[in-house]
Chain A
Amino acid sequence: MDPHDVLLSASLAAAAAEADEAESSVIATHAVQRDARNGVVTVDGSVAERQLALRVWLGGREAFGTYAADIAPSAAARQTLDLARALPATRSLPAAPAVRVAPMPPAPAGDIAELLEHLRGLSLPPGDGIDIELKASHVTREVHLRALSGFDGIRYESYAVIAIRVVGRAGGVAAQLLYETCELSLASAIRHVEADVLPEALAQARAAVRAARLDVQPASVVIDARLMARMLGLLAPSLMLESAQLRRSRWGDRLGQRVGVPGLRIADDPVPRNGAGAIPFDDEGIATRRNVLVDDGILREFLSDRQAASREGTQSNGSGWRGPAGEAPATRARFLELDGGNGLAWQAHHPRDCIPGTLWVQQAHGMHMANDITGDFSFAASGVVADGSDTGRPVRGFTVTGNAHEMLQHIEGVSRCSHLIKSSSGFLRSPHARIGGLTIVT
């Protein structure tokens, strides 16, 4: 018998003795990590784990527990029920997942060993004082979810993240640049790094050692797609129904009102239109769908899980996800993307496409320290000033200050191309964006 099946059945059976409702999940994860620096593999590792999670409801009390998979299912149930008994009765029974989903086959992984060896080759330094460090991780996950109410589903997840650090040195000056890329497969990620990211990184590193302090106020400001994606992560809490109910969202009472410029769209889409990497149900068993949260600049919807939705008398829109450290499912974004459609389309994809005097912000430090309630941010940055040349004039030593919510009201244009990253806020995709109203301090 499938060991996952045994664990699911036994833990549910043990919980059913007392619980009003219970949901059990088993997540089998396999991850490989390879770091290569200047052609040498410095870290080579793998993680294999199976984790049991149990969520129980007992007399208005809800508790969630996660356990190493070799724990006896009865012990897991007892531990979780003990926790529930110790909590106050504040939770209603969840709506049962209504959709039974046929498992989608896992995506083929390819020859991981061969791919990782190719990665080592990509880290070979070009020989002009530049160091290259690549950190790649490839994660595959099999998620089984079963509920006493009858839901039974399996889904497969896979993604690869490659972080790149390039350090250029010339004439006693060093410049360190960071990039990251995320794709659904390791093969795609490596292709993207080889074809696009690494050539761009090397060019920028060679220019950055010549960077001077920014000494003029720019004519306009462009935030690179990778940084805009991180800005999108700053907005995620404000797009959650739970945050609105807790009065922590700046947009809590703005449903139906303008929060961004016309043409702006923000959606959470665990079911990408091309089907690749589709996640059919969330961590509560609710069918996922494309949720358009901001459309044409108007706030249309919040992300919601079952508890937040039940407080509003509505239904979850499939946004109940476990936290980055495996915490209990709650309202979270999974795959946020920002785009501008035709209305905000702007033909620039590179600093050379911009009018002279435009500051293209390429690197940032301290973005993670933004205030997630007010949306205020301020980070140190470097980039280039467009000057009609192919590379632009590299500049450093300035800070960018603004507010993530107000920024949406000042987007002047977005590129057609976009970039995907992975963060603790989930997957984030954004184009380059030209933005007014930011304060540049030199």
Chain B
Amino acid sequence: MTPAGEPLPAEAVLAEVISAETATLCRRRQPHWLDGTAFGEVTTRITGRFADGAFIDCSSSIDAGISVRVHTAEGIRYQTRDGLRPGLIPTAFQAESVPLEAIMATLAAIDTAARAYDPSVVQVLIDFEIANRRICIGSLDSPVVQDRRQLVYLIVRVVARLRDRMSAGFYTPGLAGTADALDPAAIGAESAARAVASLEARPAPAGHFPVVVAGGRGIVLLHEACCHPLEGDEVSKGSVYGRQLGTTIASDLVSIVDDGTIGGAVGTSVFDDEGLPTRSTPLVTDGRLTSFLTDRQTARDIGHPRTGNARCQSYRFPPLPRMTNTRLVAGTARADDIIGDTRFGLYAQHVAGGEVVESTGDFVFRVTNGYWIEDGKIGHPITETTVAGNGADVLRHIDAVADDTRVGAARCGKFGQYIPVGVAGPTLRVRSLLVGGSSGSS
């Protein structure tokens, strides 16, 4: 309470608790402790599902807890507890109102726009999450810091039906901010376009082909092929790039940055989850490997500078070195020219996600909307397909990078922790990837 008897602001409550925890950590420090942090959060969240113009369900949550982590030569030890102090939560956070009317209006507008796109659209299903996280972190070697992270994340699925064919479009718009920054008309139209295009899709050819990947969400290709093996814990386990710092690992057209400062991107924050400032870290510069991504533990383990990449899903989990926003630096080519220069191959317009084998660099990603390119022209749509390759080969075989940068949002899963990550960059082309289609093998 303030001297005037008013409830303390939320941030002040959290800072008070974490400052006390950090002071205790300092007092009880053991000789074998190399580092230590106290992490506290209070998160309010609205989630739900919206189908065909109405809510299926809607939930609100107030989650609060603390985790104390200690680093030793072997690894991390942690203990968590829920809550902060009895009675603090309602006084601090009850004033936060739920902007449900605005959320409903946005979702309804997406639904309307999707159905207006084409009469074949029969269903619009939207999973939504709107979160407001207040984070406070103290450590043995840094002052207590605070961060506030707002997130809006939608998963829009549109089903289109034409005669006996059914197809689904999938789109995940997201941003660090509030829901009023979304463009519902554009989201609805884009989601519907993906579903409707797939109605006429033919099975993708199977075999090795050039692949042109559209920018924005398509940068998942690099997220998987390059950046997961650069995370400090994977480097310490012997990832495929673990011994290649300073060497050329990619085409000289390729420069990749992990950038936790991109305004509005879902992976952006002021501090990481161990209290270190986030930053823009060049990972690959003109094809040369220049940095790994570390948290406090892995920076020590691999003898690499701290890069401020410690992230955790919530206080319940220990932090891991994770990407923030993966950005491919724009080139000078035009996307249309890259397609025109491709005699035959796959145009991956939209990508769902992927997975990588860190020790070998083998990866896959799923093309949810793609087109076959023939004689430099975009032709018929193809059904969803998986594209596979090896990261080391792919990076060297990127032979065109355009200038049309876009930003996308995704969720990344690692050892059971799911966090928002941004992907940003222009259209690019890879000389050869394995396309796992079904219309005959090559």
Contact = CB atoms under 8 A, between A and B. Distances in A.
Interface of A: 33, 35, 37, 40-51, 62-72, 74-75, 78-80, 82-83, 86-88, 90, 131, 133, 135, 163, 167, 169, 174-176, 217, 242, 246-248, 250, 325-328, 330, 365-366, 368-369, 371, 373-374, 376, 378-380, 396-397, 399-401, 439-442
Contacts of B167: 374
A93 to B, nearest CB: 15
A45 B78 contact: yes
Interface in B396-442: 413, 415, 434-438, 441
Contacts of A246: 51-52, 56, 123, 125
A210 B354 CA distance: 26
B80 A48 contact: yes
18 contacts: A42-B76, A43-B75, A44-B78, A46-B78, A64-B57, A65-B61, A67-B63, A68-B63, A71-B62, A75-B89, A167-B237, A176-B360, A378-B385, A378-B437, A380-B386, A399-B436, A439-B441, A441-B438
B430 to A, nearest CB: 16
Nearest to A363: B357
Interface string B77-108: 11111111111111000100010110010000
Contact of A401 (B104, B170, B385): B385
Interface in B34-63: 47, 51-52, 54-63
A366 B52 contact: no
Interface centre among B60, B100, B366, B434 (most CB of A within 10 A): B60
B364 A366 contact: yes
A66 B237 contact: no
Contacts of A83: 58, 60, 98, 100
B354 A366 contact: yes
Interface residues of B, number: 81
B125 A248 contact: yes
Nearest to B360: A174
A437 to B, nearest CB: 10
B135 interface: no
B363 interface: yes
A378 B57 contact: no
B434 A49 contact: no
Given A371-B168, A401-B437, A65 B89 contact: no
Contacts of A90: 54-55
A99 to B, nearest CB: 24
Given A40-B74, A69-B83, A399 B388 contact: yes
A108 to B, nearest CB: 24
A369 B75 contact: no
Nearest to A62: B57
B65 interface: yes
Contacts of A78: 94
B358 interface: yes
B436 A176 contact: no
Given A176-B360, A365-B364, A441-B434, A50 B82 contact: yes
Contacts of A250: 166
Given A72-B87, A441-B436, A369 B354 contact: yes
Contact of A45 (B54, B76, B166, B437): B76
Contact of B90 (A63, A72, A217, A327): A72
Contact of A371 (B59, B82, B365, B384): B384
Given A49-B80, A176-B357, A63 B441 contact: no
B388 A330 contact: no
B318 interface: yes
Contact of A327 (B59, B122, B358): B59
A48 B316 CA distance: 9
Interface string B298-340: 0000000000000000001010000000000000000000000
A361 to B, nearest CB: 13
A174 B60 contact: no
B133 interface: no
B57 A380 contact: no
B362 A365 contact: yes
Nearest to B240: A174
A378 B384 contact: yes
B231 interface: no
Contact of B101 (A33, A79, A86): A86
Contact of B57 (A35, A40, A328): A328
B157 interface: yes
B172 to A, nearest CB: 13
A314 B61 CA distance: 31
Given A66-B61, A366-B364, A366-B365, 20 more contacts: A42-B76, A43-B77, A45-B76, A45-B318, A62-B57, A66-B60, A66-B63, A67-B61, A67-B63, A72-B89, A75-B90, A83-B98, A90-B55, A131-B238, A246-B52, A327-B57, A330-B56, A374-B166, A378-B386, A380-B386
